[in-house]
Structure 1
Amino acid sequence: MRAEVVGAVRALSDPEHQKRVWIEHEYPSAGYFEDFTMNVNILDDAAVLDRPHETIGYTLASADEAEAMGRLAERIDAVLSSAGDNAADQRIITDPLWETVVDAARAALQLLTLHG
């Protein structure tokens, strides 16, 4: 599950990837699919957005990681409030608040990759 979380956070941290894969649908292989919703669902399924501290020792390795995921959750909630819960990926990644999601994801990714 941790690998899935790291992959989702990595996707949220990379605007070039988002544009190429989520918007232009340039997938790395046949049968591949990925978008914003899929990545958020992975994080939701792992409970690292709504209950990050409860996942320490399972999916997350430290309180620092949990706090970073909590900040990412706040930023995702803010952009969804701004863009709309059912907004298309293009609308989400062009929202003025999107950069805060990318920044929070980068910070979380840095911590997540310190611990493998």
Structure 2
Amino acid sequence: MREELVSYLAGLSDSDYQFRAWVERSSPNLAYDELDYTIHFLYDDTGLAENAYTWIGLVLKNDQEARAIEDVVQAIDALFDKYGPDLSDKEYLEKEEWARIVCVSKDALKVLLHGK
């Protein structure tokens, strides 16, 4: 499950990937993907969005990783609070707030991969 989290964070960290995979669906080398998969993983499938700290020892290694996931969730929550959950992936990617999600996801990915 940790590998799946890392994969979703990698997707959230890469604007080029998001556009190619979620919007254009242009690369034959990419498996089908969309933002909704990441949202379901964080919010529905695992509950990481509700309380990342309860996943320490299961998926996360420590408080630093839990804080990093909380930062990602807070950025996503802010986007959904402002625009709702019904925009297309392309519309979310075009929002000013999306840059924050990419940034905190990059930070979280670094923490999970390198402890930094």
Per the TM superposition, whether the score is higher than 0.5 is yes
Q: How many pairs are equivalent?
A: 114
Which amino acid in 2 is paired with 1:113? L
Structure 1 distance, partners of 2:49, 2:35, is 14
Quote the residue 1:42 is aligned against. 41
Q: CA deviation at 1:23?
A: 0.4
Distance 1:114 1:82, change over 3 A: same
Quote the residue 2:109 is aligned against. 109
Structure 2 distance, partners of 1:97, 1:24, is 21
1:62 aligns with 2:80: no
Aligned-residue Cα RMSD (Å) equals: 1.5
Output one character per residue of 1:31-52: Cα deviation in whole Å (capped at 9) or x when no partner: x321111111122212222110
1:93 aligns with 2:93: yes
Matches within 5 A, 1:20-31: 20-29=20-29
For normalisation by structure 2, the TM-score amounts to: 0.91
Structure 2 gaps of 5+ residues are none
Structure 1 distance, partners of 2:49, 2:91, is 22
Structure 1 gaps of 5+ residues are none
Instruction: Judge which range, 34-43 or 53-62, deviates more.
Output: 34-43
Output one character per residue of 1:10-37: Cα deviation in whole Å (capped at 9) or x when no partner: 100100000000000124448x321111
1:14 aligns with 2:14: yes
Identity across the alignment (%): 26
